Amino acid sequence: MRSLVLLIILFSSAFSSEAASKKKQRKIVSSESPQNKKSQVSSYIDETQRFISIFWTDLNYNMDSFFSNQKYSKTENDGRISAYLDFYRKEGESLKTYFDISIKVDLPKLSHRLSITIEKERDDILESRSNQITNVQATKDSDYAASVNYLNLSDLFNSELNVGIRFAIPLDPFVKYRIFKDLNFSWFDLHLEQKFIYFKQEYFSESTQIFFAKKISDSVILSQNNILSWSDSDDLFVLRDSLILSQKLSNKKSISYSVGANASFTPTFYYTGYDASLSYKQVLYKTWLYGSLGIGAEFLRTNEWGMTNFAVIRTEVFFQ
């Protein structure tokens, strides 16, 4: 509830600066024919996809986790096959290996707004609380799910409703509702998002996201991501703040630097840990084989703020 009130306040302040231009736009749209209105809806979708491709994705669906710590939920209904092999080593622990394969079935869209997908569902809350390098478990613990998705784009805000079932044992019906808004200003871009998630087997969770992105040059992006999440499974409010500097070295190489912090609100507000990391990713073969190296350190309250180093080597294939 706290996060929802915060999001409403941010929406109100952001929309007040756009009121004059939006009013003029509505007058123009009202005089259009039904065919032009249909074209307007298509242009909204195209505009959203262009915005995502510039600030959250580069080469493919999985590369977006490299340029920021957010795997943004894309509105387009593209089929894909991806797999990765991770070698993860944390100081004081043995080497761990993660392997995962994910398939998304591309079904024909029922309309501009309605679609059906079958894909592997990530743990949204676990992913929102993790460092961009150490969030592999959020995907590893996922299961395939089939869902019907309804996308509504408007002048005020955009929303997406997903209703489906996760193929776990037992079968797990779910409902996801997402409200989001992309705002373009002269010197930075802003993404606001409120997400509500209900799984029958895992009860209820929600998250509020505020994402800033500043394009410093054609190859450098500075972004800040703030996510407040709550899950009924642990009854905890967790705040994740991260600052990421991403640099595209070439069409096949990129690097990013990030610092982040996690905080809890139970029993009062306090920081539970800090982290810093460096990631390098490169296309190894054509457009479907990738390699990456990530190194970093965590400073956890439970470890009396001592430094714990970690490293990840990943090989990844991606077909779309």
Q: What would the pLDDT profile of 111-124 be if each residue is shown by its tens digit?
A: 778 888 888 877 78
How many residues can be counted in the chain?
A: 320
Mean pLDDT of 217-224: 90
pLDDT digits (tens, 9 = 90+) for 156-181: 899 999 999 999 888 999 999 999 99
Phi, psi of 236 (to 5 degrees): -125, 135
Of the ranges 73-87, 146-160, 180-194, which one carries the lowest mean pLDDT score? 73-87
> Taking Cα atoms as reference points, which of 315, 281, 317, 318 lies closest to residue 85?
315
pLDDT digits (tens, 9 = 90+) for 137-159: 545 567 889 999 999 988 889 99
All residues at 6 or more sequence positions from 136 whose CB lies less than 8 Å from its CB, including other chains? 84, 86, 88, 98, 100, 312
Give the rounded distance of the alpha carbon of 298 from its chain centre.
22
Contact predicate 225/241, CB 8 Å: yes
Spans of all domains in the chain: 2-319
Mean pLDDT of 214-233: 91
Angle at 102 between CA 237 and CA 175, to 5 degrees: 45
HEC profile for the chain? CHHHHHHHHHHHHHHHCCHHHHHHHHHHHHCCCHHHHHHHHHHHHHHHHHHHHHHCCCCCCCCHHHHCCCCCCCCCCCCEEEEEEEEEEECCCCCEEEEEEEEEEECCCCCCCEEEEEEEECCHHHHHCCCCCCCHHHHHCCEEEEEEEEEECCCCCEEEEEEEEECCCCCEEEEEEEEEEEEECCCCEEEEEEEEEEECCCEEEEEEEEEEEEECCCCEEEEEEEEEEEECCCCEEEEEEEEEEEEECCCCEEEEEEEEEEEECCCCCEEEEEEEEEEEEEEEECCCEEEEEEEEEEEEHHHCCCEEEEEEEEEEEEEC
pLDDT of residue 4: 43
pTM of the complete model: 0.70
Contact predicate 275/296, CB 8 Å: yes
CATH pick for 2-319 out of 2.40.160.40, 3.20.20.70, 3.40.640.10, 2.40.10.120:
2.40.160.40
pLDDT of residue 170: 87
* Confidence band, pLDDT 50/70/90 cuts, at residue 227: very high
Structure tokens at 257: 């630097």
Of the ranges 189-193, 204-208, 221-225, 247-251, which one carries the lowest mean pLDDT score? 247-251
How distant, in Å, are the alpha carbons of 81, 216, 291, 316 from that of 85? 14, 33, 10, 6
* First vs last C-alpha separation in the chain: 39
* Confidence band, pLDDT 50/70/90 cuts, at residue 136: low
| Side-chain half-sphere CA neighbours of 148 within 13 A | 5
All residues at 6 or more sequence positions from 81 whose CB lies less than 8 Å from its CB, including other chains? 101, 102, 103, 104, 317, 318, 319, 320
Structure tokens at 279: 């990631």
User: Dihedral of the CA atoms 159, 160, 163, 166 (nearest 10)?
Assistant: -130
